Amino acid sequence: MQRRTVPVTTAFVIGGGFILVMVAAALAQSDPAEPPAPLLDDSVPAWQVHAEPGPVIDAAAAQDAALRAGGDPDAVVMSTQLLTYEAARVSVGSGNNLSLGPDRQVYLVTLRGDFIFRRHPPGLPDRNAGAIYVIVDAPTGEVMSVGELPGD
């Protein structure tokens, strides 16, 4: 930590008149803040999780993770695709998960069944869906996003 002395002017009011007092105060000043995370290109923060060389889970493991996330024991897998996160997100119209880079490998699993979305703002009713998508991180098997399929 770097310290420096900075003059400080303090004004007091005494009996209707002003008296200025110059005071030298030692103020602790930390080093400049860390610069923002560098960008890999014009728009991708380096802290995002990106594509990795190496193994990914198999499609069956991605389907199992998606079925557990869906919550319907009778759900049926309609499709499973290994894609980049950007391709999966655009395919289903999903919002951006800021922790994943656009080149990260994910499985896009679509399910048909009877699904209930219970996470919503207070006062709104639960929402039912007959088909959902689940985005599963391919290297880790973690479910990253669940949503209703557009047009269903």
The DSSP string of 3-72 is EEEEEEEEEEEETTEEEEEEEEEEEEEPPPPPPPPPBSSSS-BTTSB---SS----HHHHHHHHHHHH--
More confident residue, 141 or 27: 141
Average pLDDT over residues 113-117: 91
List, edge to edge, every strand of the sheet that includes 76-84: 76-84, 105-117, 127-137, 143-148
The reply to whether 11 falls in a domain is no
The reply to whether 97 falls in a domain is yes
Supply the pLDDT for residue 6.
Answer: 43
Average pLDDT over residues 131-151: 91
The reply to whether 16 falls in a domain is no
Q: How many domains does the chain have?
A: 1
Q: Give the chain's mean pLDDT.
A: 75
CATH number of 133's domain: 3.10.450
pTM for the complete prediction?
0.66
The reply to whether 95 falls in a domain is yes
Label residue 130 left, alpha or beta by phi (over 0 means left) and psi (-120 to 50 means alpha): alpha
Supply the pLDDT for residue 140.
Answer: 93
The reply to whether 13 falls in a domain is no
The reply to whether 72 falls in a domain is yes
The reply to whether 110 falls in a domain is yes
Supply the pLDDT for residue 46.
Answer: 58
The reply to whether 5 falls in a domain is no
- Domain span at residue 111 reads 59-148
pLDDT at residue 36 tops 60? no
